[in-house]
Amino acid sequence: MAQAKKKAAAKKAAATKTATRSTKKSVVKKPAAKKVAVKSTKKSVVKKPAAKKVAVKSTKKSVVKKPAAKKVAVKSTKKSVVKKPAAKKAAAKARKAPRTVAKKGASNKGPSNGTLKAMHLKMLRIRRFEESAGKMMEDGKIPGALHLYVGQEAVASGVMQHLSNEDWITSTHRGHGHLVAKGGEFKPMFAELFGRSTGYCNGKGGSMHISNMDLGMLGANGIVGGGPPIAMGAAFSNQFKGNKNVSIAFFGDGASNEGSVHEAANMAALYKLPCVFICENNGYGEYTPQSGHQAIVDVADRASGYGMPGVVCDGMDVMAVYEAAGEAIERARSGGGPTLLECKTYRYYDHVGVRGMGLNYRSDEEVEAWKKKDAINSFEKRLIQLGVVSRKQLDGIHAAVDKDIEEAIEFANDSPYPTPDELLENVYYLKGA
């Protein structure tokens, strides 16, 4: 029994040893598997970083390319950005310093001496005509009221230099200067003011309704803001016919508040009509200063609401007007649509006549300050400096214009009044007549 127990114990001990060895082997194998797994993992880990490096290299290449593209894009953007801000800066400068607008449109060559002389002559003819007419009105030799253009001559002269007789203009109650600058002659103009049959309208139009179709002058207008719708209609006609003619609408800062002006500007912009709206801002709507009838300083700011460019220029500088108007007119001719050009100017005399109604709405100091900027005097100094004319030549031009004035007044005085049987002539259109 005892031996049997011993044998059983020995067998048990042997089995235990075998089990232990087997366990050790499996334990040994397991670490080996782990090592293999670790090695395998390491390999895969090694490979992944390698792939990452390749990816990084690839990314670096693409990153290098993108900045290069960006640089090109930036360069391209810079070019376009340079153009846009330049226009904005010019517009901003135009409001602060009107002269810069004229420089913007200036060509390298500049106007010829003939053009400079022509603009000077236009301004001088307007000044002499208006001064003479105003004096005769005050003396009772001309019936009715005259709204004189003295001081604003640079505007009409600078604009009209770009126009032909085929181009249309509409004027205002202050319209003598526009007609003179458009090519109007003194004799029929004075005759019209005198109410004589030899006048442009046979003595029936007078000061505020003077017109001449041959010159493209659609008429002065006693209705404030009455001209722009007519000019817009003329522009529509030109566009329909397919010609390159333009129409110009003159109006003042007071008229810029009228609904007729807004409607005309809106339609002109909508259809891109060949029309230029020229606001002669002389600072007053009759006797009311601009600050008393508008919350804005520059009427041209309203252009953005219509959908057209708005430009401000120095209306006391004929060259600034000439260049700013030239750009606007060329834009209209080429199909670019209308422009609102505001010319900052000033009238030396009262709303009506020379002495006016004696209303105290502006100071003598204000008037004198503007006279120091006189367009004719300053331009004559520039012409002499440039060697275009001499003082002696200018004196001769002044004398010649004065002589033309005297002859025209004599002609008007000697001309007959229209007869009663002519009353209805040129009033109604009769087909076949």
The helix (H) or strand (E) run that includes residue 249 is: strand 247-252
Cα gap 225→207, rounded to integer Å = 17
pLDDT range class, residue 19, cuts 50, 70, 90: very low
Q: What is the pLDDT of residue 358?
A: 79
Share of the chain above pLDDT 70, in %: 74
Is a pLDDT exceeding 70 seen at residue 92?
Answer: no
What is the pairing mode between strands 339-344 and 310-314? parallel
Give the residue among 238, 264, 240 at the shortest CA–CA distance from 250: 264
Q: What is the pLDDT of residue 337?
A: 98
Tell me the backbone φ, ψ of residue 270, rounded to 5 degrees: -60, -45
CB of 220 closer than 8 Å to CB of 211: yes
More confident residue, 178 or 433: 178
What's the pTM?
Answer: 0.75
More confident residue, 144 or 87: 144
Q: List residues bridging with 313 in a β-sheet.
A: 343
Q: What is the pLDDT of residue 433?
A: 57
Tokens encoding 261 = 């002006």
Pick the CATH number of 98-418 from 3.10.580.10, 1.20.1440.120, 3.30.390.50, 3.40.50.970: 3.40.50.970
pLDDT per residue as tens digits for the range 340-399: 999 999 999 999 998 877 789 999 999 999 999 999 999 999 999 999 999 999 999 999
Q: What is the pLDDT of residue 118?
A: 98
Q: What is the pLDDT of residue 99?
A: 34
Query: Is the backbone of residue 332 left (phi > 0), alpha (psi -120 to 50) or beta?
Result: alpha
Cα gap 256→367, rounded to integer Å = 23
pLDDT range class, residue 67, cuts 50, 70, 90: very low
pLDDT range class, residue 7, cuts 50, 70, 90: low
pLDDT range class, residue 11, cuts 50, 70, 90: low
Q: What is the pLDDT of residue 359?
A: 86
Is a pLDDT exceeding 70 seen at residue 404?
Answer: yes
Is a pLDDT exceeding 90 seen at residue 129?
Answer: yes
Is a pLDDT exceeding 80 seen at residue 17?
Answer: no
CA 80 to chain centre: 20
**Contact residues for 139 (Cβ-Cβ < 8 A; gap 6+):** none
The residue with tokens 């919350």 is 295
Share of the chain above pLDDT 90, in %: 69
Is a pLDDT exceeding 50 seen at residue 3?
Answer: yes
The residue with tokens 């970083």 is 49
The helix-helix angle for 318-333 and 153-160 (nearest 10°) equals 40
Instruction: Tell me the mean pLDDT in the region 39-64.
Output: 40
pLDDT per residue as tens digits for the range 295-349: 999 999 999 999 999 999 999 999 999 999 999 999 999 999 999 999 999 999 9
CB of 332 closer than 8 Å to CB of 269: no
Sheet holding 310-314, edge to edge: 168-170, 247-252, 275-281, 339-344, 310-314
Q: What is the pLDDT of residue 432?
A: 67
Collapsed DSSP state (helix, strand, coil) of residue 6: helix
CB of 149 closer than 8 Å to CB of 160: no
Cα gap 379→344, rounded to integer Å = 17
pLDDT range class, residue 116, cuts 50, 70, 90: very high
| Inter-CA distances, 406 with 28, 129, 175, 179, 329, Å | 133, 10, 21, 19, 35
Instruction: Tell me the mean pLDDT in the region 236-251.
Output: 97
Q: What is the pLDDT of residue 246?
A: 98
Structural domain spans, the chain? 20-96, 98-418
> Average pLDDT of the chain?
82
